[in-house]
Structure 1
Amino acid sequence: MHAWRSLSRSILVFTNVLFLLLGSVLVSIGGYMASLPALTEFSDGGVASSVIMCGALIILIAMLGCCGAQWESKVFLFPYAILVLVSVVAQLSLAGFLTHVHSSLVEVARHNFDLSVLAPADQETLRWINKRFKYVYYGCGLDVDIDLTGTRSQPLIASCSNPEFSWFATFVEENCPIGHKQLQSGSNFLKCAGRVFP
């Protein structure tokens, strides 16, 4: 029994040390994101502060877990369990929200990008997303070179005339696998790219 408790305590300490490192990395990434004016403007400042807050919360949870496991103290383990439960519920809620946004995008694509088919709250969410991407797109001065011959290893190469938005060119290259099919008349890509939500 003592060996099992010792093993479980060691596992708990080890995993919380890993989470402590993860939280530190998130705080660093959030600080870096906050130092980029273009990215802060793109996200209304919310993304960087959210990443920093998530990192700080993970650090707090990890410290409570390490202290609780090391000293087998309920003073640390009880708030640790509560915070873990709250963070799991928050993550599930966020996953549900993102799934809902994705299904809204799929639904509006089915109706030729007519937002009137969605509920008013979903319309506002998609308008906000569209507004943010338009801000970055025009601020970047995006130039895209698409290889339709299939001879290049990377079919799409993007660049920004404004160096403050260079991160957006990388985002486009990694997340927009555009090929010949997407450029055909009537494709979903052209319908979406040519449509500005009212």
Structure 2
Amino acid sequence: MVVGVQLSMGSRCVKYLMFIFNLLFVISGILLISLGSVIFAIFHEYRHFLDKEFLSVPSLLIAIGVIIFLIAFFGCCGAVRENYCMLVTFATLMILVFILELAGGISGYVLRAQASDIVTEKMNSSMAEYKDNTEITFLWDGIQKKLRCCGTNEPKDWQLYFDNDSLPMTCCDPQAGAAGTVSCKLNSTSELHVHDVGCAPAFLDFVKLHALQLGGVGFGVAFLQFAGIWFAISLAKSIRNTYESV
């Protein structure tokens, strides 16, 4: 004769809450995959200014999102079917994912400390290729337009590669190039405006902004993980105690 397992009212509440949390896990997994993909694409666009390690952080975020999306299956099935083994598997996998997130956070913190030197070195070396490498030209013109910056640390950095105080046209406001007969120079007249901010500090602020987004989402997912792990362990204990009392 098969004896049905009857959970207490409190355990049933935990069961339904865990099911809801797993739906949130699915959504958070999709969010991590989407955000990681967007930031990976942004970092890849500026890969000449960054080391490969910077691409590993959003890649790890995408991997974690996929894993969370998949293991939410164990949590949902375990809660609905009141299956002890599935719940324990879910809790174990979530703990492993949390360890991965912790490792990614530590790596991100280490990279953040090294970011300034890496970006400055990469930008300085790429400036020498500005006139000869179409990809580098496009990259520098794009970042100087988007971030309204010029040179690595200041506009004078370009004087090693340009004569007569000349600068790339993207170092000046758009109207400078629109005039046709006007060129962008270090000592431009009042009708022109040279971007006086270096691209290294501007780009670092840009990277830190996206790192903050990653950190915020990671913190939110970590909170959900703690709650989900607690619910899974509590429900698993309740199911085990119920079976033992039967």
Q: State the shift of 1:92 in Å.
A: 4.1
Equivalent-residue separation in structure 2 for 1:158 and 1:171 (angstroms): 20
Q: 1:169 to 1:97 in 2, by over 3 A?
A: closer
Residue of structure 1 aligned with 2:87, choices 57, 67, 77:
77
2:118 alignment partner in structure 1:
131
Kept in 1, the 8 Å contact 2:74–2:87? The answer is yes
Residue 31 of structure 1 aligns with which residue?
37
Distance (Å, rounded) in 2 between the aligned partners of 1:131 and 1:31: 23
Aligned-residue offset at 1:136? 6.4
1:93 Cα deviation after fit: 4.5
Specify every segment of 5 or more residues in structure 2 that has no aligned partner in the other structure, as ranges.
1-6, 128-139, 151-194, 212-246
2:96 aligned with 1:86, yes or no?
A: yes
Measured after TM superposition, the shift of residue 55 of structure 1 is 0.7
Give identity over the alignment, percent: 20
Aligned equivalent of 2:241: none
Cα distance in 2 between the residues matched to 1:64 and 1:31: 25
User: Distance in 2 between the 1:33 and 1:96 partners?
Assistant: 18
Task: Please tell me whether residue 18 in structure 1 is matched to residue 24 in structure 2.
Answer: yes
**How far has the Cα of 1:33 moved from its partner?**
3.0
Please tell me the root mean square deviation across aligned C-alpha atoms, in Å.
4.1
Cα distance in 2, alignment partners of residues 73 and 84 from structure 1:
17
TM-score normalized by structure 1?
0.51
Structure-2 separation of matches of 1:79 and 1:6: 20
Return closer, same or farther for 1:12/1:167 CA change in 2, 3 Å cut-off: farther
Q: TM-score when scaled to structure 2?
A: 0.42
- Contact 1:27-1:55 within 8 A present in 2 as well: yes
- Report the CA distance between 1:8 and its aligned residue: 0.5
Q: Select 2:78's aligned residue among 68, 82, 88.
A: 68
- Would the aligned equivalents of 1:12 and 1:69 in 2 still touch at CA under 8 Å? yes
Match of 2:15 in 1: 9
Count residues with an aligned counterpart: 136
Query: What's the CA shift string for 1:134-187, capped at 9, x where partnerless?
Result: 54697433528xxxxxxxxxxxx99899xxxx9866457899xxxxxxxxxxxx
How many angstroms apart in 2 are the aligned matches of 1:39 and 1:48? 14
Does the 8 A contact of 1:33 with 1:39 survive in 2? Answer: no
By percentage of residues, which structure has more strand?
1
Larger RCO, structures 1/2 (Cα 8 Å, 6+ apart): 2
After superposition, where does 1:141-160 map in structure 2 within 5 Å?
141=144, 143=149
Cα contact 1:158–1:169 (8 A) shared by 2: no
TM-fit CA distance, 1:26: 0.9
Query: Within 1, Cα distance between the matches of 2:60 and 2:210?
Result: 23
Q: Which one has a bigger Cα radius of gyration?
A: 2
The amino acid across from 1:20 in the alignment is V
Asked if structure 1 preserves the Cα contact closer than 8 Å seen for 2:15 and 2:79, the reply is yes
- 1: CA distance between counterparts of 2:208 and 2:95? 36
Does the 8 Å contact 1:19/1:59 carry over to 2? Answer: yes
Q: Which consecutive unaligned segments of at least 5 residues does structure 1 have? A: 106-125, 145-156, 176-198
Partner SS for 1:35? helix
